[in-house]
């Protein structure tokens, strides 16, 4: 069966450290993968998109990697701040024939302590 898995346990780190979140998938061949941030009671906010032919994408303190062989994406926040505390969702499309339709993981909650 098709699955997207994110670490269900919350990630607690100290301010200034790098947070690394993992997204694993099985039985998909996504053309691209996206990461979103969600605060409690709010809708997700789009952060980054990485295509299958890209190994790495950066945006300010954020970095995403995409390994289609391992079927895994890593999401890094460098120099983390308490304001980065939120739930982070990965999402992927289901490959050709499914224009724009995303499947979401359950999210990983990040807590950055001052």
Partner 1 sequence: DGGITQSPKYLFRKEGQNVTLSCEQNLNHDAMYWYRQDPGQGLRLIYYSQIVNDFQKGDIAEGYSVSREKKESFPLTVTSAQKNPTAFYLCASTMRQRNYGYTFGSGTRLTVV
What three-state secondary structure class fits 63?
Answer: strand
Residue 46 interacts with partner 1 (CB under 8 A)? yes
Q: ∠ CA(106), CA(31), CA(5), 5° rounding? A: 20
Tell me the C-alpha distance between 89 and 37, whole Å.
Answer: 6
Site map 5..44 versus partner 1, x via CB under 8 A: ---x----------------------xx-x-x----xxxx
Rounded least distance, CB 114 to partner 1, Å: 27
Measure the N-to-C terminal CA separation of the chain; round to a whole number of Å.
41
| Contact call for residue 63 and partner 1 (CB under 8 A) | no
**Shortest Å, Cβ 20 to partner 1:** 20
């Amino acid at each position: 069966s098709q699955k997207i898995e994110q670490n269900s346990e919350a990630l607690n780190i100290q301010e200034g450290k790098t947070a690394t979140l993992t997204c694993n998938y099985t039985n998909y061949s996504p053309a691209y993968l996206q990461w979103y941030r969600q605060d409690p009671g709010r809708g997700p906010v789009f952060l980054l998109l990485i295509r299958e032919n890209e190994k790495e994408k950066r945006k300010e303190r954020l970095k995403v990697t995409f390994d289609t062989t391992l079927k895994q994406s890593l999401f890094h926040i460098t120099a983390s701040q308490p304001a980065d505390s939120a739930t982070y969702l990965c999402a992927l499309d289901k490959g050709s024939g499914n224009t724009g339709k995303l499947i979401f993981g359950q999210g990983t909650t990040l807590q950055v302590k001052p």
